[in-house]
């Protein structure tokens, strides 16, 4: 009477273990071979973050990239910033390529501390264009706005 449920659980467990094992193998291969998988130290949220004070203290020219929505960008943005967000990635990339200079730092910002868009855009610029000196502004637009006289 009880043989069927036990058998069903045993079958499910065996199959699940097999699927997990195969996934672990491919996950390991991803870590090793995937060109877009960040290294362990590079993928940590916060890696690539810059404080506003650090940006203002250095002399390298900065290209500001606004990763917020188009409506927020139109309302106000850091002077000279270009709009590059994931809503219109191709259009943003065209704008970026028109003004990008390898000698500049690229600093991406989104709205505030809690948004992820700046880090996502930073990562994509690194991955898709192979640019190293891309960072994101810690605290984003809110921090920049508060720092203005």
Partner 1 sequence: MIMLLLRWLAGAVFVLSGILKIVEPGRFLLDLQAFGFISYPLAYATALFLPWMELFCGVALWANRLTRGASVLLAGLTLAFITLLLFSEWRGVDVECGCFGEWFVFPSLGAHVAFNLGLLVALVVIAVRSRATK
Q: Provide the binding-site residues for partner 1, judged by CB under 8 A.
A: 4, 7-8, 11-20, 22-24, 26-28, 30-31, 34, 36-38, 40, 43-45, 86, 89, 114-116, 119-120, 123-124, 127
Q: How many helices (H) and strands (E) does the chain have?
A: 6, 5
**Smallest distance from the beta carbon of 130 to partner 1, in angstroms?**
14
For 55: left if phi > 0, alpha if psi spans -120 to 50, otherwise beta; the answer is: alpha
**Smallest distance from the beta carbon of 82 to partner 1, in angstroms?**
19
For 46: left if phi > 0, alpha if psi spans -120 to 50, otherwise beta; the answer is: left
How many residues in total does the chain contain?
149
**Smallest distance from the beta carbon of 58 to partner 1, in angstroms?**
25
Q: Choose between 22 and 147: whose C-beta lies nearer to partner 1.
A: 22
């Amino acid at each position: 009477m009880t043989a069927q449920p036990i058998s069903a659980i045993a079958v499910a467990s065996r199959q699940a273990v097999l699927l997990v094992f195969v996934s672990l193998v491919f996950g390991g291969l991803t870590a090793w071979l995937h060109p877009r998988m960040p290294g362990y130290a590079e993928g940590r949220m916060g890696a690539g973050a810059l404080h506003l004070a650090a940006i203002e203290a250095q002399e390298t020219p900065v290209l500001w990239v606004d990763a917020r929505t188009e409506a927020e960008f139109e309302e106000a943005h850091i002077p000279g910033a270009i709009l590059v967000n994931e809503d219109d990635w191709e259009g943003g990339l065209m704008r970026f390529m028109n003004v990008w200079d390898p000698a500049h730092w690229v600093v991406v910002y989104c709205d505030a501390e809690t948004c992820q868009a700046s880090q996502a855009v930073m990562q994509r610029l690194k991955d898709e264009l192979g640019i190293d000196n891309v960072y994101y502004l810690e605290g984003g637009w809110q921090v920049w706005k508060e720092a203005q006289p």
